Amino acid sequence: MASRRRSPRALVRGADAAASALRRTLAAGLAVLLTGLGIALEVNCTVRYSTNHHPLPQAGRDRARKVDKPAVTTRKHAMAANKIVRTVVLGALAVGAVAFGLHWWQTGRWLESTDNAYVRADIAVITPRVAGEIVEVAVRENQLVKKGEVLVRIDPRDYQARLANAQAQVAQAEAALLANSRQQEMQVAMIDEARASLNAAEADRVRVRKDYERASSLVKDGVATQARLDTASAGYQSAQATVTRGSAALKAARTQVGTLEAERARLEAQLQAAKAAEQLSALDLEATVLRAPGDGLVGNLAAKLGERVSPGLRLLSLVAAGPVWVEANFKETQLTHVVVGQPVLVHVDAFPDTEIQGRVESVAPASGAEFALLPADNATGNFTKIVQRVPVKVTLEVPAALADKLRSGMSVEAEINTKPQG
C-alpha cells in the first residue's frame, strides 16, 4: 500500500493503543529496574568508599579478602539484575512494536488525515439594489440579528417621488381606458341607430317603388298623367339614396367600433406598462431598506452613515447562524477508499482537547485547481506534475459546548476512517 501523509496529531492518536500496552509492560519492568539499580548503586558506593577512604595494611588486606566475599556476591547479583532489566526493557519494546503494528494493520492503515481543512458556513454578502445615501446603519459589528431585521436604510425620498409618478401614470392609463369603453358603448348605440334608420329607409324604398310601378301602369293605360309618373320616379330615387346613405352610415359606425377596439388594445398595453413601472418603483422603494435574509452574525461591516452607495457595493456580510461544516482538502491519492457516509474525526485547532464526530457528506466533482480563477494550463511545455487536492464536505455533530464557538475559517484536522464496514 502506498505511503500516506499523516499529521503529527493523527500519528499520536494512531499509536495510543500501542502506547498503552507498552506502558503496562514497562511498568512491570520498571520495578525490577529500580531494584537492580539500587543494589548496584549500593555495592558500587560501598566498594568505592572502602577502597578510597580506608586503605588497609597488608595484614588487614589479607583478612579483608575473606570479608570481601559477600561484596563480590552482591556485585554478581547487581549484574544479574541489570541483565534482567535489559531483557525486560527489550521485551517491552518488542511488545510495543508488535502492538503498534497490529493497531496499524487493523485501524491505522485505513485512516486518511489532512490539516488542510477549515470550518465553513453560509455567508451572505449584503449589497444594495438601488443607489442613494445611507441614512441609517441599524447594526454593529459582530451583532446577532434575526431574519427580517433592518440592517441599513437608504434615503427613500427619490424613490417615493418615482412611485407617486408611476401611480399617476397608472391612473391616467386607467382613465383613458375607461373613456375608450364609454366611446365603444356610444358607438354601439350609434350602430343600432344607423341600423334602424337603414331599415326604415329600406321599408320606405319598397313603398315608393310600389307607387312608382303603379303610376307607370296607370300612365300606360292613359289613366294617370306623366307628371304623376315623374313624381313617383323622383320619390323612388330619393328613397334609394336614403338607403345608400343609411348603409354607409352603418358601415362607418361599425368601422369606428373596430378603431375603438384597436385603441383599447393600445390603452390596455399602456396600462400594463404603467403598472409594471409602478411595481418597479415600489420594489425600488422597498429596496431602500436592507433586511437580514436570515438569522446570523454581522461581520465585515463597511456601511457608513452619510455614504453614497451604488448597486452591488458590499455593505456588510452576514454569517448564517445555521449548522457549520468542514471543507477538507484531501490529496487525490488519499481518496481511493473514501465514500459518502464514512465517519470522520475532527479536531479544531482552537479547541485541541475536544473531538468532533462527523460524516463524509460529499466529494467535490473536481479538484480545487479546476475552480481557480486562472486554472493551470498543462498543455504548455512547462508541465510539472503535482498531487491535486479535492475538497471533501464533512457534516459535524457539534457538541453543545462548541455550538456557539465555531467560526467559519477556523483551521481543523480531519481524519476519515475508510475501513469497510461489516
Grid cell in block for residue 156: 427613500
pLDDT confidence bin for 107, thresholds 50/70/90: low
285 and 167 Cβ atoms separated by less than 8 Å: no
Separation of first and last alpha carbons in the chain: 22
Instruction: Name the strand (E) or helix (H) holding 212.
Output: helix 157-221
Identify whether residues 136 and 168 lie together within a single domain: no
Which of the pair, 51 or 263, is modelled with greater confidence? 263
The helix or strand, by DSSP H or E, that contains position 387, with its residue range, turns out to be: none
Indicate if the pLDDT at residue 214 is higher than 60: yes
**Confidence (pLDDT) at 108:** 65
Confidence of residue 227 (pLDDT cuts 50, 70, 90): confident
Give the closest residue to 318 by CA, choosing from 78, 132, 143.
143
Same domain, 167 and 280: yes
Domain that holds residue 278: 157-286
The count of domains in the chain is 4
Query: Who's near 177: CB < 8 A, 6+ residues apart?
Result: 264, 267, 268, 271
13 with 38, same domain: the answer is yes
Torsion angle of the four alpha carbons 320, 326, 331, 332, in this order, in degrees rounded to the nearest 10: -80
pLDDT for 12 beyond 70: no
Above 80 in pLDDT, residue 377? no
Same domain assignment for residues 101 and 195: no
**Residue 2 vs residue 246, higher pLDDT:** 246
Percent of residues in the chain assigned helix, strand, coil, to nearest 5? 55, 20, 25
Question: Is 50 exceeded by the pLDDT of residue 373?
Answer: yes
Give yes or no: residues 388 and 413 share one domain. yes
Listed in sequence order, the residues at least 6 apart from 114 whose beta carbon sits closer than 8 Å to its beta carbon are 5, 7, 328, 329, 330, 331, 334, 413, 414
Regarding whether 273 and 187 lie in a shared domain, the answer is: yes
In this prediction, residue 163 has a pLDDT band, given cuts at 50, 70 and 90, of very high
Q: Do residues 255 and 164 both lie within one domain?
A: yes
- 151 lies in the same domain as 292: yes
Position 350 scores a pLDDT of: 95
Contact yes or no for 367/389 (Cβ under 8 A) = yes
Say what percent of the chain tops pLDDT 90. Answer: 45
Q: Which CATH number belongs to the domain containing residue 296 in this structure?
A: 2.40.50.100
Is 39's pLDDT higher than 70? no
Least confident of 69-73, 87-91, 403-407, 411-415: 69-73
Task: List the single range of 44-48, 239-243, 290-294, 354-358 with lowest mean pLDDT.
Answer: 44-48
Q: Return all residues near 122 (Cβ < 8 A) that are at least 6 apart.
A: 319, 320, 322
pLDDT above 90 for 220: no
Q: What is the pLDDT of residue 61?
A: 47
pLDDT at 152 over 90: yes
Query: Do residues 128 and 212 share a domain?
Result: no
From residue 314, how far is each of 125, 302, 310 by CA, in Å?
A: 7, 7, 9
Supply the pLDDT for residue 78: 67
Nearest to 288 by CA among 121, 136, 410: 136
Q: Residue 348 in contact with residue 354, Cβ under 8 Å?
A: yes
Cα–Cα distance for residue pair 361/359, rounded to 1 Å = 6
Backbone angles phi, psi at 288, to 5 degrees: -70, -15
Q: Which residue has the higher pLDDT, 216 or 43?
A: 216
Task: State the pLDDT at residue 72.
Answer: 58
Report yes or no: 137 and 304 within 8 Å, Cβ to Cβ.
yes
Taking CA atoms, 37 is separated from 43, 44, 45, in Å, by: 10, 10, 12
414 lies in the same domain as 363: yes
Determine the pLDDT at residue 249.
79
* Cell 505511503 sits on residue: 3
pLDDT value at position 282?
97
Cα distance between residue 204 and residue 238, in whole Å: 10
Amino acid at 325: W
Q: Are 112 and 415 in contact (CB under 8 A)?
A: yes
CATH number where 254 lies? 1.10.287.620
Residues 8 and 50 in one domain: yes
Q: What is the pLDDT of residue 141?
A: 95
Q: Could you read off the pLDDT of 332-362 as tens digits, one per residue?
A: 999 999 999 999 999 999 999 999 999 999 9
Cα–Cα dist 33/89, whole Å: 9
Q: Is the dihedral of CA 32, 33, 34, 39 positive or negative?
A: positive
CATH number at residue 347: 2.40.30.170
- For the segment 67-92, what is each residue's pLDDT rounded down to a tens digit? 455 555 666 666 776 777 777 777 77
As a whole number, mean pLDDT of residues 58-65 equals 48
420 and 402 fall within a common domain:
yes
Binned at pLDDT 50, 70 and 90, residue 13 comes out as: low
Rounded mean pLDDT of the chain? 81
